[in-house]
Amino acid sequence: MPLGSTEQHGPHLPLSTDTLIARAVARRAAGLLPGRVLVAPAIPYGASGEHAGFPGTVSIGHEALRHVLVETVRSLALWADRVAFVNGHGGNAETLRAAVVELRHQGHDVGWVGCEVPDGDAHAGFTETSVLLHLAPEHVLMRRAAPGDRRPLAALMPRLRAAGVRAVSPTGVLGDPTGACADQGRRILRELAADAASRLAAWRADDQGGLSR
């Protein structure tokens, strides 16, 4: 089950960036796994309150998202033996963990993997722009791409949590998309899918349902 968001990604990427990436990772990971693995339609809305100051962002909030995730798994569990979420938006993670913990306590075999790139920039920068140039170049406006705040996410997080993305980046970009290229995006997506497939195949969940190799 790909889980994304509908939110600003600077002036050059589509609102569906996180959903497109989560769907692509899920499909490619499924193709690497043995047996019968189905990829569900993506959930395109998430908890995106930190982006709420930008036009186009649609956030359903943490509580509504938790209910969606819980009820989705309860429905899928009527015929699916196991459910895995592939999460493309970091803002969903806290709620995803809470929902998966609740579901596992109810006896459902459910886990999740993320689409984080080690050492990648945080939002609408080189990493996501490269992946979108590979996946959906027709939706990328590179002439409008410009650097945003390039500090590591850990350094930005206190201000982001307190005041949202606009407080640190008027364009909504966290990173530098100007050097992005489709070849790098292909490589990044291949590595994300291989990592997800490895975690899904091992199916070792931590106490919050996160899957490790």
pTM over 0.75: yes
- Give the confidence band of 136 by pLDDT, cuts at 50, 70, 90: very high
Identity (one letter) of the amino acid at 121?
A: D
In tens, the pLDDT along 119-131 reads 889 899 999 999 9
Alpha-carbon 136 to chain mean position: 16
Give the whole-angstrom CA distance, residue 213 versus residue 171: 36
CB 211 within 8 Å of CB 87: no
Report CA dihedral (156, 14, 63, 195) to the nearest 10 degrees.
-70
- Give the confidence band of 207 by pLDDT, cuts at 50, 70, 90: very high
Q: Does residue 53 carry a pLDDT above 90?
A: no
Q: Name the helix (H) or strand (E) containing 205.
A: strand 204-205
CB atoms within 10 A of CB 203: 12
Give the whole-angstrom CA distance, residue 189 versus residue 137: 14
Q: Does residue 24 carry a pLDDT above 90?
A: yes
- Residue 174's pLDDT is what? 95
Phi-psi category of residue 209: left, alpha or beta, with phi > 0 → left and psi -120 to 50 → alpha: left
